[in-house]
């Protein structure tokens, strides 16, 4: 979710109180979604958004929001200001692990902490916020420091957070003492549990501009998106080595073992329409398009001589512009491509795709397509989906990171698309939507000026077919 030509960053903010929190649940998104320009059309969703007199966040009738953290204003447990640019969130019980997408110029960096810092010259990382049963913020601490552009990531089946660096910076650039572009594992159990552990890079997952991950709870396979250009990025799969047993600390132990840098198999996705290679996911023009998937090994996953995406010719791989958020549900991985333009080298144009990869059939299916938005300033069309979560009430919640007005978008299992929230403060992007386990709270961030929020209200399977097949 780093800035890209033609797209602004977006966000939202505060209101009242919140209820108790629970463990994260994966919902369901079964069903084929509708094509073309996604527009707000009652009676879908929870009804019209009510303007906020404070000009912060418009929500449906009966919903409210509370601010947990404000970058630069709220204090960490050590007295330091909460870091800038909150991005993706992992929710674990009453604990929230938040990425901070900090490169170099953001005003409030993640403080370095002994035993939690990968590279002292880097200013990104994660913080962890704890919340009481009454909804009050109890505290917030650094859980990983010394990383770069911690953008998205993903929760593991064993209750940890994989945070991803969206960069390819090498040691020596920007004063860095270590290479960057890796995935790190953060334990939400407490700051001491991460000492000497969270700063360990999982190099076997590759070094590139990581965006998000999704973990197959059955096989332990890890799926990864790449947000990169020149050429556009790839979709990756990591298969664990024989005898590997996924679980707490297992990835770190593997990374630190002999040969850990290249443990398992890292491959990139190629898609086929019959026998014809599909070189660009952007060419899919209608929901229901399905491609067969094959996987090809990445020759040099640490990208010593060339970026991983540059190790393939265009006639041997499937690329996509702006591969972003990802979420595991329904036995597979939902992942997002935010937009594509001919001017950026894409084979076709759109303002958002949602794909579903099914490991059982080795296929990817286009579930939702956002046509090119004709009027980003209007409050009736959406563009640039980024972070994604699957709702416990069925369907999806997408964080919009496009042009003009910014929304959290609800997508029902029958394809109905509706606004869940509207930013009335600015055009900064929404980030990190994720539900509490009891389904009562939707957490999200506004990246600038930097707020972490909790949205509560009369959640239910929404009108117009917001799917109710969640678990």
Report the alpha-carbon distance of residue 223 to residue 211 in Å, rounded.
11
In a domain, 24, yes or no: no
State the pLDDT at residue 50.
95
> 258 lies in which domain range?
49-456
CA distance 428 to 448: 6
- Are 408 and 387 contacting, i.e. CB atoms less than 8 angstroms apart? no
CB 60 within 8 A of CB 125: no
* 279 Cβ neighbours under 8 A, 6+ residues apart: 314, 315, 317, 318, 319, 347
Spatial separation of the C-alpha atoms in residues 4 and 20, rounded to whole Å: 37
65 lies in a domain? yes
CA distance 329 to 349: 27
Question: Within a domain: residue 59?
Answer: yes
In a domain, 27, yes or no: no
Which of 282, 255, 287 minimizes the C-alpha distance to 271? 282
CA pair distance 5, 267, nearest whole angstrom = 29
Between CA 445 and CA 454, with CA 451 as vertex, the angle to 5 degrees is 60
How many domains in the chain? Answer: 1
Does residue 39 belong to any structural domain of this protein?
Answer: no
What's the CA gap between 241 and 260, in Å, rounded? 10
pLDDT at 261: 97
Q: What is the full per-residue pLDDT of the chain (471 aa) written as tens digits?
A: 433 322 232 332 232 233 233 323 333 433 333 333 444 444 568 889 999 998 889 999 999 998 999 999 999 999 999 999 999 999 998 899 999 999 988 999 999 999 999 999 999 999 999 988 777 899 999 999 999 999 999 999 999 999 999 999 999 999 999 999 999 999 999 999 999 999 999 999 999 999 999 999 999 999 999 999 999 999 999 999 999 999 999 999 999 999 999 999 999 999 999 999 999 999 999 999 999 999 999 999 999 999 999 999 999 999 999 999 999 999 999 999 999 999 999 999 999 999 999 999 999 999 999 999 888 888 878 899 999 999 998 899 999 988 888 899 999 877 778 899 998 889 899 999 999 878 888 999 999 999 999 899 999 875 443 333 332
Tokens, residue 176: 């860095």
How many angstroms separate the Cα of 398 from the Cα of each of 276, 317, 409?
32, 27, 5
Question: Under a CB-based contact definition with an 8 Å cutoff, are residues 59 and 455 in contact?
Answer: yes
The span from the CA of 464 to the CA of 417, in Å, is 9
The vertex-6 CA angle with 337 and 56, nearest 5°, equals 85
Distance CA 119, CA 172 (A): 12
Residues 153, 75: Cα–Cα separation, whole Å: 24
Q: What is the pLDDT of residue 48?
A: 92
The CA-CA-CA angle for residues 356, 203, 222, to 5°, reads 20
Q: Is 16 inside a domain boundary?
A: no
CATH number of the domain that residue 336 is part of: 2.120.10.30
Q: Is residue 84 part of a domain?
A: yes
Q: Which two tokens stand for residue 470?
A: 């969640």
Could you write out the three-class secondary structure of the chain? Answer: CCCECCECCCCCCCCCCCCCCCCCCCCCCCCCCCCCCCECCCCCECCCEECCCCCCEEEECCCEEEEEEECCCCECCCCCECCCCEEEEEEECCEEEEEECCCCCCCCCCCCCCCCECCCCCCEEEEEEEECCCCCEEEEEEEEEEECCEEEEEECCCCCEEEEEECCCCCCHHHCCCCCCCEEEECCCCHHHHCCCCCCCCHHHCCCEEEEEEECCCCCCEEEEECCCCCCECEEEEECCCCCCCCCCHHHHHHHCCCHHHCCEEEEEEEEECCEEECEHHHCCCCCCEEEEEEEECCCCCCCCCCHHHHCCHHHCCEECCEEEEEEECCEEEEEECCECHHHCCCCCECCEEEEEECCCCEEEEEEECCCCCCCCCCCECCCEEEEEECCCCCEEEEECCCCCCEEEEECCCCCEEEEEEECCCCCCEEEEEECCCCCEEEEEECCCCEEEEEECCCCCCECCCCCCCC
Q: pLDDT for 260-316, tens place per residue?
A: 999 999 999 999 999 999 999 999 999 999 999 999 999 999 999 999 999 999 999
> Is residue 443 in some structural domain?
yes
Give the tens place of pLDDT for each residue, 357-409.
999 999 999 999 999 988 888 887 889 999 999 999 889 999 998 888 889 99
What's the CA gap between 102 and 121, in Å, rounded? 12
User: d(Cα 169, Cα 171) in Å, to the nearest integer?
Assistant: 7
The tokens of 361 are what? 């059939």
Tokens linked to 442: 């939707």
Strands 124-131 vs 95-100: parallel, antiparallel or unpaired: antiparallel
Decide if 442 contacts 397 (C-beta within 8 A): yes
């Amino acid at each position: 979710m780093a800035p890209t030509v033609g797209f602004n960053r977006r966000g939202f903010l505060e209101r009242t109180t919140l209820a108790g929190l629970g463990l994260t649940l994966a919902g369901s998104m079964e069903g084929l979604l509708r094509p073309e320009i996604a527009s707000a059309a009652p009676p879908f969703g929870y009804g019209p958004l009510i303007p906020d007199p404070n000009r912060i966040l418009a929500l449906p009738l009966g919903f409210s929001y509370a601010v947990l953290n404000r970058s630069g204003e709220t204090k960490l447990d050590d007295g330091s200001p909460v870091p800038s640019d909150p991005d993706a969130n992992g929710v674990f019980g009453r604990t929230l692990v938040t990425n901070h997408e900090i490169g170099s110029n953001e005003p409030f960096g993640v403080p370095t902490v002994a035993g939690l810092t990968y590279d002292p010259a880097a200013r990104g990382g994660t913080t962890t916020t704890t919340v009481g049963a009454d909804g009050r913020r109890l505290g917030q601490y650094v859980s990983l420091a010394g990383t770069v552009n911690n953008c998205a990531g993903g929760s593991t089946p064993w209750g940890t957070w994989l945070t991803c660096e969206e960069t390819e910076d090498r040691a020596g650039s920007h004063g860095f003492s270590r290479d960057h572009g890796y995935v790190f594992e953060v334990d939400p159990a407490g700051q001491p549990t991460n000492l000497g552990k969270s700063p360990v890079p999982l190099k076997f997952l590759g070094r590139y501009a990581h965006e998000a991950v999704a973990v197959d709870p059955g096989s332990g396979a890890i799926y990864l998106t790449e947000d990169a250009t020149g050429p556009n990025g790839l979709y990756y799969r990591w298969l664990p080595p024989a005898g590997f047993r996924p679980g707490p600390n297992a990835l770190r132990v593997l990374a630190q073992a002999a040969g850990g840098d290249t443990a398992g198999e890292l491959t990139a996705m190629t898609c086929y329409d019959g026998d014809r290679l599909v070189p660009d996911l952007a060419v899919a023009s209608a929901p229901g398009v399905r491609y067969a998937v094959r996987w090809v090994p990445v020759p040099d996953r640490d990208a010593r001589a060339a970026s991983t995406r540059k190790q393939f010719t265009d006639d041997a791989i499937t690329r996509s512009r702006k591969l972003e958020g990802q979420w595991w549900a329904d036995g597979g991985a939902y992942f997002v491509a935010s937009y594509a333009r001919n001017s950026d080298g894409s084979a076709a144009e759109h303002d958002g795709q949602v794909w579903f990869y099914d490991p059982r059939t080795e296929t990817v299916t286009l579930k939702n397509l956002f046509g090119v938005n004709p009027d980003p300033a209007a409050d009736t069309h959406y563009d640039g989906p980024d972070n994604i979560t699957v709702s416990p009430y069925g369907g999806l919640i997408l964080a919009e990171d496009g042009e003009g007005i910014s929304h959290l978008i609800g997508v029902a299992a029958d394809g109905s698309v509706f606004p869940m929230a509207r930013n009335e403060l600015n055009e900064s992007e929404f980030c990190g939507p994720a539900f509490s386990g009891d389904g009562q709270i939707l957490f999200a961030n506004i990246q600038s000026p930097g707020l972490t929020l909790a949205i509560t209200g009369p959640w239910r399977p929404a009108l117009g077919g917001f799917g109710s097949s969640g678990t």
